[in-house]
Amino acid sequence: MIRLEGVSKGFGANSVLSGLDLVVPAGSMLAVIGRSGTGKSVLLKCVARLLNVDSGCVEVGGENVGQADSHAVRRIRSRMGYVFQFAALFDSMTIGENVEAPLRREGVSPVEATRRADDVLARVGLKGIRNQLPAELSGGMRKRVGIARAVIAEPEYLLYDEPTTGLDPVTTAVIDDLMLGLKRDLGATGIIVTHDVRSALRVADRVSLLHEGRLHIEGTPEEIRNSDDPLIRAFVEGKSELWPEDSGSRR
Amino acid sequence: MRLTSLLAWIGRQATALVALIGRAAQFIWSILTAIADLRTWVPLTAVQVRRIGVDSIPVALFIALFTGIVLSLQSSYTFSGIVPLYFVGVLVGKSIMLELGPVLIGLVLAGRVGANIAAEIGTMRVTEQVDALEMMAWNPVSYLVVPRVAAGILTFPIVTVLGLVVGIVAGWLTAIGLLDLSTQEFVRGLRMFYQPFDLSYPLIKAASFGAIVTTVGALHGYHTRGGAAGVGRAATNAVVISCMLILVFDALWAVILL
CA distance A78 to chain B (A): 6
pLDDT tens for A122-155 read 988 888 899 999 999 988 899 999 999 999 998 9
Closest residue in A to B130 (Cα–Cα): A88
CA dist A88 to A57, A182, B97, B120, B123, Å? 27, 20, 45, 14, 11
Q: Which regions of chain B does DSSP assign to beta strands (E)? A: none
Strand partners, A3: A23, A59
Chain centre to alpha carbon of residue A2? 13
Of A48, A81, A86, the CB nearest to B127: A86
- A-chain CB neighbours of B139 within 8 Å are 74
Q: What is chain A's Cα-based Rg? A: 18
pLDDT tens for A166-177 read 788 888 888 888
CB contact A102 to B (< 8 Å): yes
Asked if B128 lies within 8 A of A102 by C-beta distance, the reply is no
- Looking at the predicted structure, is the pLDDT value of residue A238 above 80? no
**Position A250 confidence tier, pLDDT thresholds 50, 70, 90:** very low
The answer to whether A34 touches A209, Cβ cutoff 8 Å, is yes
Asked if A48 lies within 8 A of B132 by C-beta distance, the reply is no
CA distance B120 to chain A (A): 10
- Sort residue A152 into left (φ over 0), alpha (ψ -120 to 50) or beta: alpha
- Looking at the predicted structure, is the pLDDT value of residue A249 above 50? no
- Looking at the predicted structure, is the pLDDT value of residue A246 above 70? no
Q: Which of A114-123, A179-188, B212-221 has the lowest mean pLDDT?
A: A179-188
> How far is the C-alpha of B156 from the C-alpha of B109, rounded, in Å?
9
CB contact B132 to A (< 8 Å): yes
Closest residue in A to B30 (Cα–Cα): A70
Asked if A50 lies within 8 A of B134 by C-beta distance, the reply is yes
CA distance A201 to chain B (A): 27
Contact residues for B42 (Cβ-Cβ < 8 A; gap 6+): none
Asked if B128 lies within 8 A of A88 by C-beta distance, the reply is yes
CB contact B134 to A (< 8 Å): yes
pLDDT tens for A97-112 read 999 999 988 888 999 9
> How far is the C-alpha of A149 from the C-alpha of A81, rounded, in Å?
8
- Looking at the predicted structure, is the pLDDT value of residue A245 above 70? no
pLDDT tens for B81-137 read 788 888 888 989 999 999 999 999 999 999 999 999 999 999 999 999 999 999 998
Closest residue in A to B136 (Cα–Cα): A102
CB contact B256 to A (< 8 Å): no
Amino acid A185: pLDDT: 86
Asked if B135 lies within 8 A of A82 by C-beta distance, the reply is yes
Amino acid A251: pLDDT: 42
> How far is the C-alpha of A39 from the C-alpha of A16, rounded, in Å?
6
> How far is the C-alpha of A63 from the C-alpha of A40, rounded, in Å?
22
Ranges of residues in chain B with a pLDDT under 70 are 1
β-strand pairing of A2-11 with A14-24: antiparallel
CB contact A82 to B (< 8 Å): yes
> How far is the C-alpha of B25 from the C-alpha of B202, rounded, in Å?
26
CA distance A102 to chain B (A): 5
Amino acid B236: pLDDT: 96
- Report helix, strand or coil for B41: helix
Decide: pTM greater than 0.95.
no
pLDDT tens for A186-218 read 888 999 999 888 899 999 999 999 988 888 888
